[in-house]
Structure 1
């Protein structure tokens, strides 16, 4: 009796998972179909395109060519800087004891509770005063500063999951705190760093509000601003919009597919170490 019941439960579970997968992948399929349709076929949402309208991709690349590389130039350093600073800040917080360590920790976490809209205008004048308005380094600075609280929170909790016996054994061997951090703790935390890198990459790559606040030209404008330009008050260019959206998500998807195992281990708090 147990085997048929277990088999039915397995089939039901797989059916639910397949249905959930279809629900999640349906928007991507619709976007792919729309990106290959001519303007006359756009309104037939679920139909297949009669002819492959590659002009949509040509139009998308023509408008977002430089902004795509701007997004890469912004995302890679901003992710690296925010994770490095977050790891360095999270290391002592993971080993601090007493009320002082908790006070510093929660003070840093308040940065995660500040909505961007509150600091949007002061941020504009600050970046302009530093001479970094409409520059890629200005975007680095903003994303790094705004990402540090979350990176610190994430890495502090990940470092806290590393057995303290590892630190004590390193001390017995004459390894100081700085050497332990760079030589032992960071290499042992690759899963957490990979998970955080994917989270930060997605957040920075998809940013629009920072981009429209402190950029005004193609010199530093990321791909999200270019894609948003396809929707105006008069019309929406659905074909190029879908084509540009699909192209823009490829780097994030590639990063996730490459590091998905490390991503899962990192979200589990290092259970795979």
Structure 2
């Protein structure tokens, strides 16, 4: 199932492996490097078609300043924060509650409910485009940030519940027996016993959900029309002109949009790694 390690004495195999990994890494990073380099270019370079060569003139400060002064990127950025933060909080709350119930309480239909949460992850989200759009129109939330918040909470809760249910189920039964012996209610057990122990899992899940919601483009286009509610992913597409596109500004905006998930990951890196490896070693 797993690839065998390359022996130490197989020098040529190890060299070939290193070269292959390096080549794949370079190919994977080439588009990112091109975007970063283009964000440094001047308008003259872009208009002259110099998109892959080394910039003849640098417009680093001008490009990144113009993203916020000549485009509505600041508004798009604020919209994304308005959508992403409530969605992440809602998903964490609902998935923790549902995961706790599904992991610690046995009732008729427990596995059926859990299967419904898991099964929703296998549906292609494109098939829900028309029903979700019609639903938002009927309830009066179409072209609002509320539509995106509600959809992301509903769509991400299935995966998050699977994630949290497995972590909570791995906790020792003795903890819950002790809590019941002390007279703790189920809600007190959740708040004072479960949440402190699964905090790394919550941090890992928060990073994943934040990245999913922040980077979403499909539903941002389907459920929003006006610039006043569009998030950054849909807003970047608006920076393209009908006849001429300022690719240096678009590239600078792309880098700005990519910063929040990266910053959040590095700030919570320790918790993220601990959450992913929690329960990997027993005893």
Q: TM-score, normalised by structure 1?
A: 0.86
User: 1:29 and 2:33 equivalent?
Assistant: yes
CA distance in 2, matches of 1:232, 1:244: 15
Aligned residues: 269
1:190-201 to structure 2, matched below 5 A, reads: 190-201=199-210
CA distance in 1, matches of 2:249, 2:260: 18
User: 1:95 and 2:104 equivalent?
Assistant: yes
Please give the secondary structure, in 1, of the residue aligned with 2:109: helix
CA distance in 1, matches of 2:240, 2:281: 44
Gap regions ≥5 residues in structure 1: none
Paired residue for 1:133? 142
| Residues 26, 186 of structure 1: alpha-carbon distance in 2 compared, 3 angstrom cutoff | same
* CA offsets 1:37-91 (integer angstroms, 9 cap, x no match): 1244344445432332143323422321201100001100011001110111111
Paired residue for 1:221? 230
Question: How big is the shift at 1:231?
Answer: 4.0
Question: How big is the shift at 1:242?
Answer: 0.8
Please give the secondary structure, in 2, of the residue aligned with 1:221: coil
1:161 and 1:269 in contact (8 A); partners too: no
CA distance in 1, matches of 2:98, 2:167: 12
User: 1:38 and 2:42 equivalent?
Assistant: yes
CA distance in 1, matches of 2:274, 2:190: 20
| Residues 31, 72 of structure 1: alpha-carbon distance in 2 compared, 3 angstrom cutoff | same
1:78-227 to structure 2, matched below 5 A, reads: 78-97=87-106, 100-227=109-236
| Residues 195, 146 of structure 1: alpha-carbon distance in 2 compared, 3 angstrom cutoff | same
1:134 and 1:219 in contact (8 A); partners too: no
Question: How big is the shift at 1:98?
Answer: 7.6
Question: How big is the shift at 1:102?
Answer: 1.6
CA distance in 1, matches of 2:172, 2:21: 35
Question: How big is the shift at 1:267?
Answer: 1.8
* CA offsets 1:132-173 (integer angstroms, 9 cap, x no match): 122222221111111111111111111122222221222222
* CA offsets 1:232-262 (integer angstroms, 9 cap, x no match): 6755432111101100011111100001111
Question: How big is the shift at 1:222?
Answer: 0.4
User: 1:49 and 2:55 equivalent?
Assistant: yes
CA distance in 1, matches of 2:130, 2:202: 32
Question: How big is the shift at 1:16?
Answer: 7.7
CA distance in 2, matches of 1:272, 1:66: 46
CA distance in 2, matches of 1:103, 1:92: 13
User: 1:260 and 2:266 equivalent?
Assistant: no
CA distance in 2, matches of 1:17, 1:186: 40
User: 1:58 and 2:33 equivalent?
Assistant: no
1:224-263 to structure 2, matched below 5 A, reads: 224-231=233-240, 234-263=243-272
2:227 and 2:235 in contact (8 A); partners too: no
CA distance in 1, matches of 2:281, 2:231: 36
Q: TM-score, normalised by structure 2?
A: 0.83
